[in-house]
Chain A
Amino acid sequence: MQNVDAISTDFIEPKKNYLNNGTTLKSWLLTKDHKRIAIMYLITVSLFFLAGGMYAATIRLELLTPESDLLNTQTYNKVFTTHGVLMIFFFLIPAIPAVLGNFLLPIMIGAKDLALPRINLLSLYIYWLAGLFAIWALLQGGVDTGWTFYVPYSTTFSNTYVMAVGLAVFINGFSSILTGLNFIVTVHTMRAPGMTWFRLPLFVWAHYAVALVMILGTPVIAITVLLLALERFAHIGIFDPAIGGDPILFQHMFWFYSHPAVYIMILPGMGVVSELISNFSRKKIFGYEFIAFSSIAIAVFGFLVWGHHMFVSGQSVYAGMVFSFLTMVVAVPSAIKMFNWTATLYKGSVSFDTPMLYALGFMGLFLIGGLTGLFLGSMGLVVHLTDTYFVVAHFHYVMVGGQVIAYLGGIHYWWPKMTGRMYSEFWGKISAMLVFVGFNLTFFPQFILGYMGMPRRYAAYPPEFQVLNIFSTAGASVLGIGLLLPVIYLIHSLFAGKLAGDNPWMLPGLEWRIPSPPPTENFASTPVVTWEAYEFGEDSGLDLDEARRRDLVTVT
């Protein structure tokens, strides 16, 4: 029997856990267990990442030469659109919340499951349905409008499957909304006794903030895409100026969601990084309340800055000024987090395990991505940088250098908890470094390209840009290897990995006080929480002798 207060260091795998509790396909497809749903999301999300990555590889291959020789321009348009749609809607938005959030949120608050497990399953079904719909549309010929579906091209002139992909996005939105809804309810009503709001891990705070954005923002893209489909089908005159519509209306409605969407993508990543930084410095996180509230602040302010995607669309200069100012403001909570993480590292006992490498990588890369966002938020500069590779580099730094790296860090960190096995630390470190080097080699040249004027979404470019493009593609191959290796060694660990035991990292979090893999009901008896978050010390019940034997110094 697992005593929650004492942290066990036995390397045993419990006989009955969520993975072997029912082995039929039906028991998985009809499960209400949040952990099983998380694993099914993990598999699906990884497949979409692979697919989106292949489209990325195609883009980079085409851009090796200045001419549009590998693909003709129309196909190239379809390729970058598909890359964007798959990555954003089917990978980045679900990834951390649906995989790590679903798995860990109930455990971190001491609950048996999410508040609404059947809604969770419905969320998964909707995601699968949307994914199948999108794949069908792609196989039929795809879309070439760019993931932003700007009108009137998408409503009137494009000959591709705009409605189908639009509807796939619409359906997918509901998956997002239901997940967010579930998280909000769960955090409000399912916390174990003693688990007050300010004892919650920052991972939970981040997911609460994300859930707010999901609920408030996603319906707007839903109505936008619906109107887009309606316009395309019936030619009513909503967005098409030739029949009395307003194309800028589309942009406003689209970006009203799509800007908060980027915060849906990054906030969970920041939640993961808070966990990684604190736990791998073995030190209580600096400025807990600041980080918690900054997540909420980002969620709120994120709704006020959508116009910074429309500086050159013809919106008024005064609106531009307001959006520019608010864009500078929204950077502040993120900066607060960076400072707090740095302060956490100071005088911490930092161990450079793979998850920590990813967390440190996040800090550096998100810094660059975030700062270049400020460049793009200032009206004078954005006139030159809009629709150039500078923008592409910026958002890849925050989305890949930020979110994907945080996701990988989280997967590695909680892998032993989810599977009961440790991955190969050697290969983990190699991959982390390949990803970091490959990523920078891919995207840093793109800042320079953008600054020099290379436009985005073009299959052909002037020959003077070729050298940097070659660097970028070279980097992409390294990045590709770095991203494929984890697939191999993580799957390998399932069969041949060392048994992890309950608490392989020797950490005080609630998730480390239950067996790995956890039993279906998570806790044998409801825990009563009497400790603060990130408490490293004797009172947390950590076996200090064991920690010293493993050369881990706890810093209180």
Chain B
Amino acid sequence: MADHATTYSDKFVYHEPGLQHQFEDMKQQEESVSIGMWMFLVQEIMFFGGLFTVYLVFRSRFPMAFATGSNHLNVVMGFANTLVLIVSSLTMALTVYYAQRNNRNMQVIMIILTMIFGATFLGVKYVEYREKYEDGLVPVAGWNRRAKAESSEHATATFPLETRAQAQEEHKTEGEHVYNNPRGEFQWNEGHHLVDEALKEQAAHPDRHYLTEYEKVGYFSNGQVDDLKFQEKVRSFFWIYFAMTGLHALHMIVGLLLMTWLLIKAFQGTFSAQYYSPVEMSGLYWHFVDIVWIFLFPLLYLLGRHFIH
């Protein structure tokens, strides 16, 4: 039994740096904060888990709509972000490494690098979101770029994404204001050709399945393919995309704030071989945010990549 307990209120006693009053020794403190941080991460998993479950349910019901939505995400940027985060996890781990070895300068450098990578991630995310705004893919009416077509002859009622390239080809110039979205609504208008293709394939290969049971009802009205209903399902993909990546980005921002605090403390020389627990715990949080992205990226960006021919 340590002596600290018996002399609690009476005598002065040497405490290891950073030892909180309720603990007997550093080992107990380190163990406690470690379990605490892991429990916190467990509840974060449950938090994101709710959204993952929602994604799972909707995707298994409407794979075609989800695949086509996924194809309109920028996989290059997504992949770049993945690399950025992985490297930031490396620099984070190195921060812990240097803290354990009493190397204050390298700690600070590594934290700064981690923050730079984190900020890069957020920057790329901003660019991606901006792209969605431009393309009319934000699933909230009024939150997309508004544009009024001047002449109604050349304007399409809504902006059909599959044929965006085609539309630009046809009308050759931007000046013809092909894009018409006066109320900034969610734009998706070409669902039916995908469904028609699927139905054709189904007719040609009756033993294979091209549409799920939900899709056989969900894309149709009165036996006909309903573009609006297809749009709803693609819209589901996009709100899930924004909710999941948005929540992740929020956690990244919190992570950057945490890094700022850590940077200040590290600069002041708070951490040493005897006391580096806060660095380790911050590292755990950072790695968690990274690993959530590792799951998000394939689920949102990569599935169904070659689904549409």
Seen from chain A, the residues whose Cβ lies within 8 Å of a Cβ on chain B are: 32, 111-117, 119, 177, 180-182, 184-186, 188-190, 193, 215-220, 222-224, 227, 230, 234-238, 243-246, 249, 253, 256, 521, 523-526, 528
Contact = CB atoms under 8 A, between A and B. Distances in A.
Given A223-B47, A235-B140, A244-B233, A185 B243 contact: no
B22 A117 contact: yes
B239 interface: yes
B141 A235 contact: yes
A245 B233 CA distance: 9
B60 interface: no
Contacts of B49: 219-220
A215 B39 contact: yes
B36 A220 contact: no
Given A115-B22, A115-B32, A181 B43 contact: yes
B40 interface: yes
B227 interface: no
* Chain B binding surface SS class: helix
A249 B140 contact: no
A228 to B, nearest CB: 12
18 contacts: A32-B21, A32-B22, A111-B22, A115-B23, A115-B32, A116-B33, A188-B31, A190-B22, A190-B28, A219-B44, A220-B46, A223-B48, A236-B239, A237-B239, A238-B54, A238-B239, A246-B58, A253-B53
Nearest to B234: A244
B132 interface: no
A184 B28 CA distance: 14
Candidate in B47, B57, B231 with the most chain A CB atoms within 10 angstroms? B47
B9 interface: yes
Contact of B235 (A117, A222, A244): A244
Q: Which 6 A-B pairs have the closest CB atoms?
A: A244-B232, A223-B50, A219-B47, A219-B46, A113-B22, A115-B32
A181 B235 contact: no
B296 to A, nearest CB: 15
Interface of B: 1, 5-6, 8-9, 20-24, 28, 31-33, 35-36, 39-40, 42-44, 46-51, 53-54, 57-58, 139-141, 143, 229, 231-233, 235-236, 239, 243
B5 A219 contact: no
Given A111-B22, A237-B239, A525-B6, 12 more contacts: A112-B5, A113-B21, A115-B32, A181-B36, A184-B35, A185-B39, A186-B32, A217-B46, A236-B139, A237-B235, A249-B57, A253-B53
Contact of B32 (A185, A219, A236, A528): A185
A237 B236 contact: yes
B46 A237 contact: no
A188 B42 CA distance: 16
Nearest to A177: B43
Given A115-B22, A220-B46, A223-B47, A184 B236 contact: no
A185 B43 CA distance: 14
Contacts of A115: 22-23, 32, 36
A113 B5 CA distance: 12
A253 B23 CA distance: 39
B274 to A, nearest CB: 19
A23 to B, nearest CB: 18
Given A219-B46, A526-B1, A237 B36 contact: no
Contacts of B239: 236-238
Nearest to B35: A185
B23 to A, nearest CB: 8
Given A116-B36, A237-B232, A244-B236, A521 B50 contact: no
Contacts of A114: 22
A323 to B, nearest CB: 17
Contacts of B21: 32, 112-113
Contacts of A215: 39, 42-43, 46
Contacts of A243: 232, 235
Candidate in A181, A184, A189 with the most chain B CB atoms within 10 angstroms? A189
Contacts of B243: 227, 230
Given A230-B243, A521-B8, A220 B139 contact: no
A111 B32 CA distance: 13
A246 B139 CA distance: 16
Contact of A218 (B28, B32, B43, B140): B43
A282 B26 CA distance: 40
Contacts of B39: 180-181, 184-185, 215
A180 B58 CA distance: 32
Candidate in A119, A177, A237 with the most chain B CB atoms within 10 angstroms? A237
Contacts of B28: 189-190
A185 B235 contact: no
A20 to B, nearest CB: 15
B168 to A, nearest CB: 29
A253 B5 contact: no
Contacts of A253: 50, 53-54
Contact of A119 (B24, B36, B50, B58): B36
Nearest to B246: A230
